[in-house]
């Protein structure tokens, strides 16, 4: 018999892929999602059938409201907390106060439900942090030195999103000490893959893929100079890390999940154009924000503790996501 596992944000890109993997491995999986960005259809298998019983195992809950998730948390062995408010850079920097407020509420309510359930009920809690929580001073140069977990403090994230996720990590540490419930924080770098939001609130890769698919009806504009870079990691590698964490990630503090290579947005844009097979003019809009200059991960800790390292080649992952977005646009008959 498998474990009873709750995945918050289980209808998003990461969550839906994780749910399918956990179900396949014989676990009894419960999902909480308010469907702000996720979709129920993301939980469907190849035949179009949901991999969980939506009547008994899916809960449309707003986690920013207190006590709403008690009834689910009290019924599971493990909680994997993915849910948060995040979108593309324009949304993140245009809604910082509200985003900070909501993410702190979401985190503290989930943690409080786990606290009330207690160690006798909940065997472990995995929280997902972000590389955005690392200090701006370590991400404001194009001369990239891979980030290490011990560099997280003194804290100076650039965005409210990074601050809100960091507050979650700190609160989780207090919860672990207070209750004795084993905890794990995985700090993700820039995750891409499918299924995904590719509309107005989408992040850089799906947004650029959408523009390439729609070109020339939609211009292929890139926000910023294109020199800014990120450590892009495919969702399949992320799911593998989460499953490994369930097995052996407990009580090891913060663990980064991402590659040691920093890839520029310019390279991403050019690779997407190559995959499209179109003669696309790339326009860089330097009036738009581009966030942190560059970052990558020293994933030594993940490799040592979890036995994890990235496996999906970037171009292979981009090609897979391009085909998925293209199929969705063709299916809908219009832009999202």
- Average pLDDT for 133-160: 94
Q: In this structure, is residue 215 part of a structural domain?
A: no
Helix (H, G, I), strand (E, B) or coil at 81: strand
pLDDT above 90: residue 24:
yes
What interhelical angle do 314-332 and 204-214 show, nearest 10?
A: 60
Any idea what the Cα angle at residue 237 is, between residues 235 and 240, rounded to 5°?
A: 110
Predicted confidence (pLDDT) per residue in 29-42, tens digit: 999 999 998 999 99
pLDDT per position as a tens digit, 246-279: 999 999 999 999 999 999 999 999 999 999 999 9
Structural domain contains residue 275: no
Residue 320 lies in a domain: no
Within-domain flag for 32: yes
* Total domains in the fold of the chain: 1
Q: What is the CATH number of the domain that holds 117?
A: 3.40.50.720
Structural domain including 186 reads 4-195+231-260+296-312
In a domain, 54, yes or no: yes
DSSP classification of residue 258: S
Which of 199, 144, 159, 99 has the alpha carbon at shortest distance from 290? 159
pLDDT band, very low/low/confident/very high, at 336 (cuts 50, 70, 90): very low
Q: Is 192 a catalytic residue?
A: no
User: Alpha carbon 243 to chain centroid distance?
Assistant: 15
pLDDT of 1: 55
The answer as to whether 108 is a domain residue is: yes
Residue 334 is predicted with a pLDDT of 53
pLDDT in tens, 67-118: 999 999 999 999 999 999 988 888 888 999 999 999 999 999 999 999 999 9
213 has pLDDT over 90: yes
Does some domain include residue 66? yes
| Mean pLDDT on 194-204 | 88
Out of 161, 254, 299, 322, which one is annotated catalytic? 161
- Flag whether 38 is in a domain: yes
Q: How far apart are CA 214 and CA 219, in angstroms?
A: 8
């Amino acid at each position: 018999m498998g474990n009873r596992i709750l995945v918050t944000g289980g209808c998003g890109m990461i969550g839906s892929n994780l749910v399918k993997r956990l179900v396949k491995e014989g676990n009894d999986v419960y999902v909480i999602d308010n469907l702000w960005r996720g979709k129920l259809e993301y939980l469907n298998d190849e035949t179009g059938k949901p991999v969980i019983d939506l009547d008994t195992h899916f809960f449309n809950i707003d986690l920013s409201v207190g006590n709403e998730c008690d009834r689910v948390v009290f019924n599971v062995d493990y909680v994997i907390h993915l849910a948060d408010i995040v979108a593309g850079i324009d949304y993140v920097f245009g809604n910082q106060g509200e985003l900070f407020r909501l993410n702190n509420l979401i985190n503290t309510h989930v943690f409080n439900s786990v606290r009330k359930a207690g160690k006798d009920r909940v065997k472990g809690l995995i929280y997902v942090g972000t590389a955005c929580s690392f200090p701006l001073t370590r991400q404001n140069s194009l001369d990239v030195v891979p980030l290490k977990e011990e560099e997280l403090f003194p804290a100076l994230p650039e965005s409210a999103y990074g601050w809100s996720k960091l507050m979650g990590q700190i609160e989780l540490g207090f919860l672990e000490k207070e209750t004795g419930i084993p905890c794990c924080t995985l700090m993700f770098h820039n995750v891409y893959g499918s299924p995904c939001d590719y509309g107005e609130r989408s992040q850089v890769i799906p947004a650029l893929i959408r523009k390439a698919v729609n070109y020339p009806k939609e211009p292929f504009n890139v926000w910023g100079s294109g020199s800014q870079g990120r450590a892009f990691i495919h969702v399949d590698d992320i799911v593998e890390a989460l499953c490994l964490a369930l097995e052996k990630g407990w009580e090891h503090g913060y663990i980064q999940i991402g590659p040691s290579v920093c890839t520029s947005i310019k390279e991403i844009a050019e690779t997407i154009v190559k995959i499209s097979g179109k003669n696309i003019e790339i326009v860089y809009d330097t009036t738009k924000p581009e966030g942190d200059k560059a970052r990558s991960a020293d994933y030594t800790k993940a490799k040592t503790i979890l036995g994890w390292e990235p496996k999906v080649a970037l171009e292979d992952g981009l090609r897979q996501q391009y085909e998925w977005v293209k199929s969705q646009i063709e299916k809908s008959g219009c832009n999202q």
